Amino acid sequence: MLDFVKYVDIEMLVKLLISAVLGLVIGLERELKRKPLGLKTSLVISIVSCLLTIVSIQSAYSFPQSPFAKIQMDPLRLAAQIVSGIGFLGAGVILRKEDDTISGLTTAAMVWGAAGLGIATGAGFYVEAIVGMVLLIISLELIPYFIRLIGMQKLRSKELSLRITLKNREDIGVVIQQLQEDGLMIEHVHIKDQLDGSILLELKVRAAFKKATPDIYSGVSKIDKIYLTEISG
């Protein structure tokens, strides 16, 4: 038992433990928001990134040098490959929806961030890794909230997609005017003729964050000229 303890590097174990805690915080933040990057994925990324960084650094100084040639090893060669390889995981969580909106970019960035925290911890930058994790959480949770409170109108609004079915093309202008009077800012309009003679109106609109999506749906559905309503966002 004493021989085993003698060969255990306590500092390396501390690095792995710190990277696990940092990865746990990142994973919990994503898990609470029901994002693709879950708790287990974040832990694996952070811990393994830390482990590979430790192996990369220790390997550069542990292997004996050749007496016939001067061989120099890069201590962070494996860490550099982590940064490149983690992009495959990040690409896997980016999704394109039917309305051409892109989701998952923040989660993909958090995949890269979890790897970065693991690398920083493995290289021995404990304080920097902890501060980086704190700044990440602040950037995701607090800063957007304050921006919505004091920022410009566009920053204090949310984007929604509306699919409205009309029976008469003459009602298009009336419906758009009514939506604007209800407080919706229209950014994009797409009009399509249906096979049954109806008109499909696809709109990208902005509404105040404080206004709940069900309330917006209820208000749009009450417009007389509208036959069918679909909302997403």
CA distance 57 to 89: 24
CB 49 within 8 A of CB 115: yes
Q: Where are the domains of the chain?
A: 2-150, 157-232
Model confidence band, residue 171 (pLDDT cutoffs 50, 70, 90): confident
* pLDDT digit string, tens, across residues 182-195: 888 888 888 888 88
**Amino acid identity, residue 172?**
I
Which residues, including other chains, have CB under 8 Å from residue 111's CB and lie 6 or more apart? 37, 41, 45, 86, 89, 90, 93
* Whether the predicted pLDDT of 4 surpasses 50: no
What is the rounded average pLDDT of the residues 46-53?
88
* Whether the predicted pLDDT of 99 surpasses 70: no
CA distance 15 to 94: 30
CA-CA-CA-CA dihedral for 166, 168, 169, 173, to nearest 10 = -70
* pLDDT digit string, tens, across residues 55-73: 888 777 766 555 555 556 6
- Nearest partner of 42 among 27, 20, 21, 22, judged by Cα: 27
Instruction: Name the CATH superfamily, with its identifier, for domain 157-232.
Output: ACT domain (3.30.70.260)
* pLDDT digit string, tens, across residues 208-224: 777 888 888 888 888 88
pTM attached to this predicted model: 0.64
Model confidence band, residue 29 (pLDDT cutoffs 50, 70, 90): confident
CA distance 119 to 84: 13
pLDDT > 90 in the chain, percent: 0
